[in-house]
Chain A
């Protein structure tokens, strides 16, 4: 039985438009095109190992762990980056990442990078991309979000999985906002050792990109 068959999905009829607009404190729900592709990439493993660089989201843990049988590693690098910004130690973040990601090379089946790279300076983004590429196994998948809009108020976004085609965007405070839109070629250079499997520009100005590590 395929991985997606195990999901109890409530599929939206249209993509790249808000499925349901909820109260501001809950966050709006948007369709996602790349998430189902990412999930499909995990199907080759019995117990996929997932690395989540974002903050813990209970429903996401249940989604991946309970329904899909993944083992999940939650790193919350957003909190680490926030601390480095507040303490004025941004230049130390690349070295910190080298020590923080202790997973063996090729040990991770899927990486949820979310939109962390939008917040990092260039040296930190380069270091993070290199570490994530290192830990990803051959054939593994990395899901990244990149905003194409101008930076606004300083806030991070928690991406809460509603179902395999919908994400709720829930904002929370950040010490520093996004650094600006990364051009496509810069994104591809960051992940030079990965190939771009899918790329979707959504109507909410988020570019969802799925990378695969060549076998």
Chain B
């Protein structure tokens, strides 16, 4: 009725049973291929209880749930002001997502996104803006747009032909899609 498990058989010449592995050290993904963690984008979180006064610089994406007073510089990275974030600062970042409160000017090289219940009191400079229906905003918006330039003609293949002057390019045909 009960059959002996023939795989479990201590015998000479037989290969030893595999020993149980020691538990991996914390933070070490033993079975994952090396370098996987490096593929994940680094995002730093500033928690609710944290208060920072002064200049905050960084070279990675940042989420703030605490309070910051002063200046925030995150060139080429995304700043997220979480729902509990309270910022009284001048903000400079690639993109800024606001779910909390910002009192201060915001400058973004790509986009500012004020989500529902987000609030900004200050001036915004950004080429793109998104403002949700339930968002609050007071201040100025400068999207740094100018009159759309006309489509530029393709450069001639022959090096001897000089490139047309910028003024002539601007006077070229109608803008595509107009």
A residues sitting closer than 8 Å to B (CB atoms) are 1, 5-6, 46-47, 56-58, 61-62, 65-66, 68-69, 71-76
Contact = CB atoms under 8 A, between A and B. Distances in A.
Contact of A74 (B138, B143, B178): B138
B145 A65 contact: yes
Interface stretch (B7-15, B83-91, B128-136): B128-136
A61 B129 contact: yes
Nearest to B136: A56
Nearest to B141: A72
Given A1-B175, A58-B129, A66 B145 contact: yes
Contacts of A6: 147-148, 178
Interface of B: 114, 128-133, 135-143, 145-148, 174-175, 178
Contacts of A74: 137-141
Contact of B140 (A1, A58, A66, A71): A71
| 8 A-B pairs with least C-beta separation | A58-B131, A69-B145, A65-B143, A56-B137, A73-B140, A72-B141, A71-B142, A65-B141
Contacts of A65: 129, 141-143, 145
A69 B144 CA distance: 7
Q: Which of A65, A69, A74 lies at the interface centre, i.e. has the most chain B CB atoms within 10 A of its CB? A: A65
A100 to B, nearest CB: 10
Contact of B128 (A47, A66, A75): A66
Contacts of A73: 139-140
B143 A58 contact: no
Contact of A58 (B132, B142, B147, B148): B132
Nearest to A6: B148
Nearest to A69: B145
A65 to B, nearest CB: 4
B138 A75 contact: yes
B143 A66 contact: yes
Contacts of A61: 129, 131, 141
B143 A69 contact: yes
B175 A66 contact: no
Q: Which of B114, B142, B148, B174 lies at the interface centre, i.e. has the most chain A CB atoms within 10 A of its CB? A: B142
A56 B118 CA distance: 12
B35 to A, nearest CB: 40
A43 to B, nearest CB: 10
